[in-house]
Structure 1
Amino acid sequence: MPHDRDRDATGPGIIDIWTWSLDAVDPDLAAMLSSEEIARASRFVQARDCHRFIAGRAGLRRILARYLAVAPRRLGLTYNAFGKPQIAGSNRRQLHFNLSHTETTAMLAVSDHYHVGIDIETIKPLKEDIAGHFFSPKEYMTLKMLAPEAYIQGFYCLWTRKEAFLKALGVGLSLPLDAFDISITAPQLERLDGDADASINWSLFDVDTPSGLVGTVAALTVGNSVRLRYRTDENDLLTGLVARQRHNAPLLHRSDDSPASPS
């Protein structure tokens, strides 16, 4: 699949992919957040987790604000019944987006035309064999057939593909994980219960990620040809996120910790 790095506006054949560091800490980033987000940040126990939450939300707001021509803090965000974030109020561009983060990296998928989901994970040893609990019987059997040295990579490829699809679908875990099959050998939806055309309507893409990560984007493209456009060279946009590396700069007080990873 071709990748485009131009700065043209998104069109029906493009999904923008943004990447930034969550360790690029700047106290000014907190000014972009809503009061609710500030409150959430203040509940983290560890300063590192607070910093990364703020950098993630500031990046999300600054990027989406550019598409919508509004100030980052004025951008209204809401959530559907299953917790998927979306733009509140009148969204004249019908902008769809989804955010994922793992440790020090955040990635955001943005489209004017398609419901999107993105998931990235850090590849690391698994504490236990959890595949049987989260994958369909077909997926699990295919995974178990991999050579030992390929198992972990295969697990995370499949994990991110399933997670990205669920996030694009926007229904969370209300859809049983055995209600659909996704290929391990290629980013492709093979089956979705109750939807005979799902494999045609949905597209999955492996994402170019920093070293040590794996990622997938899913989109309801309805058979249209789509390419990913990587937007990692926008220094004018992300200067506040990537220029300074003040890891120890205190932003807020914390009193809560971060969600668990799949491993």
Structure 2
Amino acid sequence: MLAMTELNDEIQVWLAPAAHDTPGPIETFCETLLLEEERVAANRFRVNSARHQHVIGRAMARCLLSSGCCEHHEIGFRILDHGKPIVDQPEVARRAFNIAHTRGLVVCGLGQANQWLGVDVEWMDRRTDPALAERYFAPAEIQQLQSLRTDDERQKLFLRIWTLKEAFIKAIGTGLSTPLDQFAFEEAKSNEPTLTLADPDLARDREWTFRAFEPRPGFVAAIAVGEEPADSKGAKASSRPVRLMNFENQLP
């Protein structure tokens, strides 16, 4: 059993590099954590980099969720209607988690059992089309992009908004079945942007907090956390620290 940092009230975002071609130590280690059927599924990937990202993401989830409560092979996942994985068994391991990956990096967000959580990450040099924002983003977000002077600034803000949107729809479990113009992030340049909803039902009766950050140089990421409305005894998600953790440090 690997030793992990206890969550307490913090939200953890674990980071792991992913090889583009030849697997390295982290890919080799993560492969040993997978069930046989998961290895079979991984072998269906035709692109090495995509296979590495999938293997690392699934292994990180097994490793982190089982820490301190069970063996990694005892974790059973269930896939919701729109593709979001959750822990099905054992009950003691049922915590909020979400995986995201991009060229060269895999992230795993880990929270509390009663939270809804989504993460997303993008490589900053990913090619983007400004027309995508005009077609899919909310008017408030389009205005923020149009107010910028340079293509580089617009590229960075586009990816920031994109990761925030992805994190939110992954947290509520709807994926891209939810139109991206039905919610908007005000002050998207901020590390803690504000969500506005054209469709109030998207909040799912939860209080939402968002963080945008650079997990490593050359990448942008976002995390969305939804919690039941806080009472006098509970801390709001906005008061919880987000801690970046290096999964490489867990290799034996």
TM category, shorter: 0.7 to 0.9
For residues 173 and 204 of structure 2, the distance between their equivalents in structure 1, rounded to whole angstroms, comes to 15
CA drift at 1:125: 5.4
**Cross-structure match for 1:152:** 155
Unaligned runs of 5+ in 1: 1-6, 241-263
Structure 1 distance, partners of 2:63, 2:86, is 15
Residues 1:181 and 2:181 aligned together? no
Counterpart of 2:61, as a letter, is L
Aligned to 2:164: 161
1:56 and 2:60 equivalent?
Answer: no
Once the two structures are TM-superposed, the CA of residue 76 in structure 1 deviates from its matched residue by: 0.7
**Are 2:20 and 1:16 equivalent residues in the alignment?**
no
Opposite residue 43 of structure 2, the aligned amino acid is S
CA contact (8 A) 2:123 2:218 kept: yes
Report matched runs for 1:90-239 at 5 Å. Answer: 90-92=90-92, 94-112=94-112, 113-124=114-125, 126-129=127-130, 130-148=132-150, 149-183=152-186, 184-186=188-190, 187-195=193-201, 201-221=207-227, 222=229, 224=236, 225-232=239-246, 235=249, 238-239=250-251
TM-score by length of 1: 0.78
Q: Distance in 2 between matches of 1:35 and 1:51?
A: 16
Aligned partner of residue 211 in structure 1, secondary structure: coil
Q: Distance in 1 between matches of 2:45 and 2:36?
A: 15
CA distance in 2, matches of 1:20, 1:122: 14
Provide the C-alpha distance between the structure 2 equivalents of 1:172 and 1:19, rounded to a whole number of angstroms. Answer: 22
Q: 1:32 to 1:125 in 2, by over 3 A?
A: closer
The SS at the match of 2:12 is: strand
Task: Say which structure, 1 or 2, has more relative contact order (CA 8 Å, 6+ apart).
Answer: 1
Relative to structure 1, the CA distance from residue 127 to residue 14 in structure 2 (aligned partners, 3 Å threshold; closer, same or farther) is: closer
Matched residues in 2 for 1:196 and 1:118: separation? 17
Secondary structure of the corresponding residue to residue 45 of structure 1: coil
SS in 2 for 1:185: coil
Task: Report the CA distance shift for 1:49/1:193 in structure 2 as closer, same or farther (over 3 A).
Answer: closer
Query: How many Å apart are 1:215 and its aligned residue?
Result: 0.6
Q: Percent identity?
A: 26
Task: Judge conservation of contact 1:125–1:152 (CA < 8 Å) in 2.
Answer: no
In the TM superposition, what is the alpha-carbon distance from 1:189 to its structure 2 partner?
0.8
Structure 2 unaligned segments of length 5 or more: list them.
231-235
**SS in structure 2 of the partner of residue 164 of structure 1:** helix
Provide the rounded CA distance (Å) in 2 between the counterparts of 1:198 and 1:87.
20
Tell me the secondary structure at the aligned position of residue 54 of structure 1.
helix
Two-structure CA RMSD over aligned residues (Å): 2.5
CA distance in 2, matches of 1:196, 1:63: 29
Distance 1:173 1:135, change over 3 A: same
Shift of 1:33: 1.3
Report SS of the residue matched to 1:64.
helix
How many corresponding residue pairs?
230
In structure 2, do the counterparts of structure 1 residues 212 and 76 end up closer, same or farther at CA, with 3 Å as the change threshold? same
